[in-house]
Amino acid sequence: MSNATTTPSAPALHLDESIDEFMERVASQSPNEPEFHQAVHEVVKSVWPIVESNDTYREARVLERMVIPDRAILFRVAWADDDGCAQVNRGYRVQMNDAIGPYKGGLRFHPSVTLGVLKFLAFEQIFKNSLTTLPMGGGKGGSDFDPRGRSDAEVMRFCQAFMAELYRHIGPDIDVPAGDIGVGGREIGYLFGTYRKITGQFHGVLTGKDLGWGGSRLRPEATGYGSVYFAREMLATRGMDVEGLTATVSGSGNVAQYTTEKLLELGAKVVTLSDSSGTIVDPDGMTGEKLQYVMDLKNRRRGRIKEYAEEYPAATYLPGERPWSVPCDLAFPSATQNEISGDDASTLIANGCICLSEGANMPSTPEAVDRFLDARVLYGPGKAANAGGVAVSGLEMTQNAGCMRRGRDEVDQQLQRIMRSIHQNCVEFGRKDDDFVNYVDGANVAGFIKVADAMVQQGLW
């Protein structure tokens, strides 16, 4: 860690400011962005002692600089629906921090997308990307466009209109977007095709591409697999393994599907999946065949998870509910932010949950996080547990730059190595006096130091 001597004339910053005062300033500078404030507060609580004890960080005002994006681009996306009617959405790209590499982070297409949501995601991405040890800065983008219920042709026209503006702001050495909620292989294809057409250039400007035109093996699987690998590392610290344990998974999209696949492969019993309408509970546990049904239902037919209970009558459908009241040893929130409330956390703990690995970004509310930590649950925060996706995206970037390809086993080995190294970093920076590992502090501090040092070394920008 950098800790140079204070220059006598330099003003001592933060010295009189409390975390609450710092957060008041953040809130007044970025009003009506509660998710962003929540994400900043969590990081600030962890890194405050590091910043307070480090003159260089204070003088360089690294924390104050980190909470303001390098830039946030807002643009109009106008496109025609299948009836020929004009539709208008808002498009965004938040380029948060590129001190350790080009901006990197997904695109989210969902009606809940706002500037504040994308700022929270881009902020989280800074530390997540730093933890992977790969040279990637933090960014995030998207639109309030809702792909649900839209035809392929409408999704294509929307993606074309979106990229017609975004292409000006991205590039393989500038900013490399990927998928997120509502943006999978289909959307990445339309976005890449538009970029190539407009610029006349074929290079690695997006990750999550199809294997046939520059994609990496295991990229679709990487976030879900990585989240299970992270849970396995956490369990190993208590001499346990996932085999034979019962798991609840939320969501039924990309991350939930591949979390389930890896859990089944490692011998766990998966009893739930969900979507924004409700949860299915399968007391018999899922199987490879049932998962294939879900993949076809969600990825090809674009159906709803309640159809699972019609296909498999032993399962029940709980409309409007989340999976957290279902007893489990392991929980894998893999849908969206703030999907686990403080009460949900208490229910999970009371029902015997010992380990929670966040495939989603910030799925636990601050109250839930406090309860997990108080109960000494093995709690893996998203910026560590779901970093596998961006890690394999980083490998895809190096593959594109070097015009080479890696085999599935090689990528899987790299993914496991990276998740192990993230876990070790969290343990190193998060171990408390009583030997309990606070993975929140560990991830935040380890991710922060590398970026803060880079910012100090590169001067005041």
Q: Which residues sit at the interface with ligand NDP, rule CB under 6 A?
A: 112, 179-182, 184, 223, 251-256, 275-277, 334-336, 359-361, 386, 389
Q: Which of 140, 209, 269, 290 is catalytic?
A: 140
What distance, in Å, lies between the first and last C-alpha atoms of the chain? 20
- Nearer to ligand NDP among residue 137 and residue 184 (C-beta): 184
Active site (annotated) includes residue 432:
no
- In contact, 187 and 223? CB cutoff 8 Å: no
CB of 334 to ligand NDP, least distance (A): 6
Phi and psi for 348 in degrees, rounded to 5? -60, -45
Choose between 194 and 252: whose C-beta lies nearer to ligand NDP.
252
**Pairwise CA distance, residues 290 & 357, whole Å:** 23
Dihedral over alpha carbons 354, 360, 361, 365 (to 10 degrees): -50
Closer residue to ligand NDP in complex, CB, 99/181:
181
- Residue among 76 and 148 whose Cβ is closer to ligand NDP: 148
Eight-class DSSP state of 206? S
The residues, ordered by sequence, that sit 6+ positions from 457 with a Cβ below 8 Å of its Cβ are 2
Other CB atoms within 10 Å distance of the CB of residue 219 = 27
Give least dist CB 253 to ligand NDP, A: 2
Return the bridge partners of 92, or none. 74, 142
State the nearest-atom distance from the C-beta of 60 to ligand NDP, in Å.
30
**Which of 251, 442 has the CB closer to ligand NDP?**
251
Rg for the chain (alpha carbons), in Å? 21
Q: Is 374 helix (H, G, I), strand (E, B) or coil?
A: helix
| Residues β-bridged to residue 281 | 272, 316
Query: What is the spatial distance between Cα 247 and Cα 261, in angstroms, rounded to a whole number?
Result: 12
Instruction: Identify which of 389, 441, 435 has the alpha carbon closest to the alpha carbon of residue 256.
Output: 389
Give the residue at shortest CB distance from ligand NDP.
253
For residue 208, is it left (φ>0), alpha (ψ between -120 and 50) or beta?
Answer: left
Q: How far is the CB of 208 from ligand NDP (least distance, A)?
A: 7
Residue 339 C-beta: closest distance to ligand NDP, Å: 6
Q: Which residues contact 431 (CB under 8 A, 6 or more apart)?
A: 437, 438, 442
- Six token digits for residue 390: 């961006």
CB of 254 to ligand NDP, least distance (A): 4
Minimal distance, residue 212 CB to ligand NDP, in Å: 20
Residues 138, 122: Cα–Cα separation, whole Å? 6
Question: In angstroms, what is the minimal distance from the CB of 442 to ligand NDP?
Answer: 19
Q: Which is nearer to ligand NDP, 164 or 222 (CB)?
A: 222
- CA dist 226 and 437 (Å) reads 19
Q: Give the number of other Cβ atoms within 10 Å of residue 389's Cβ.
A: 30
What is the spatial distance between Cα 415 and Cα 228, in angstroms, rounded to a whole number? 11
112 versus 341: smaller Cβ distance to ligand NDP:
112
Q: Are 12 and 6 in contact (CB under 8 A)?
A: yes
Residues annotated as catalytic (active site), given as ranges: 140
